[in-house]
Amino acid sequence: MSDSKVSKKLLIDTKGKRVLFAEAGKDCVDFLFHILTLPVATIITLLKTQGMVGSLPNLFQSLETLNDTFIQPNQKKDTYLKPISPVSSSSSVPLLASTAAQIQKNFYRCTCNYNRVSDDPRATCPSCHRALSTTVTYVAPPAVVEAWEDGGLVKGVVTYMVMDDLEIKPMSTISSITMLNKFNVKDVGALEEKVVYLGMDEAVKLLKTSLQSNKVLTDVFL
């Protein structure tokens, strides 16, 4: 699994027990920016297992348990519960994207021999004229690190600086020296570099922490 993980290098102030910033490549930055495109319902689904706080899970569950008889005949609850992210998964953003795709995509097929399939169960098979009523669940391919090189959002030639509060900017030597001043780091000997990997678990944890903390990297990785 480790080859489908994204790595980044943390600069840690061991005395202050905090992450000053992370040096991250395109894959990591793409992942972080991708969070912006996630529909709220997708975030709730992803964070369910992490014990999401607040009232949004109740809102979600209310619709989930609401009987279909209360829903307009031309509407589907899944449109709200499993919304499609406006940024297509073909832009190949790792981690949360593949999970979201697995959660979201259902197809419907006919039971006759013509293998007709639709993304809407109201469609009728043109061959046998029955409803395409058998649910088929789409399974996303495993996220492959190499494939992100050309896709995603930001350009890959630059290294980016991700601050503890998730402020992101292109990295330069000058900016890291300025940073050390800004952080008031007196003892450079107490600084330590650590490479961490961002897998599915860390991604979900990072998403959760970003909703409630402004020292995300410290909270997730230390």
Residue among 24 and 110 whose Cβ is closer to Zn ion: 110
Check if the beta carbon of residue 120 is closer than 8 Å to that of residue 181: no
112 binds Zn ion (CB under 5 A): yes
Is 127 a binder of Zn ion (CB under 5 A)? Answer: yes
Determine, following the binding rule CB under 5 A, whether residue 59 of this chain makes contact with Zn ion. no
Q: Does 125 bind Zn ion (CB under 5 A)?
A: yes
- How do beta strands 134-137 and 106-109 pair? antiparallel
Beta carbon nearer to Zn ion, 7 or 118: 118
**Distance, CA of 154 to CA of 34 (rounded, Å):** 11
Q: Which two tokens stand for residue 211?
A: 């909703």
Is residue 196 a contact residue for Zn ion (CB under 5 A)?
Answer: no
Q: Which of 53, 59, 71, 128 binds Zn ion (CB under 5 A)?
A: 128
User: Taking contact as CB under 5 A, which single stretch among the options 5-13, 89-97, 102-110, 197-205 is the one that binds Zn ion?
Assistant: 102-110
Residue with tokens 């995300």: 216
The residues near 199 (Cβ < 8 Å, ≥ 6 apart) are: 1, 2, 4, 5, 6, 95
Which of 10, 96, 110, 203 is in the footprint of Zn ion by CB under 5 A? 110
Residues that bind Zn ion (CB under 5 A): 110, 112, 125, 127-128
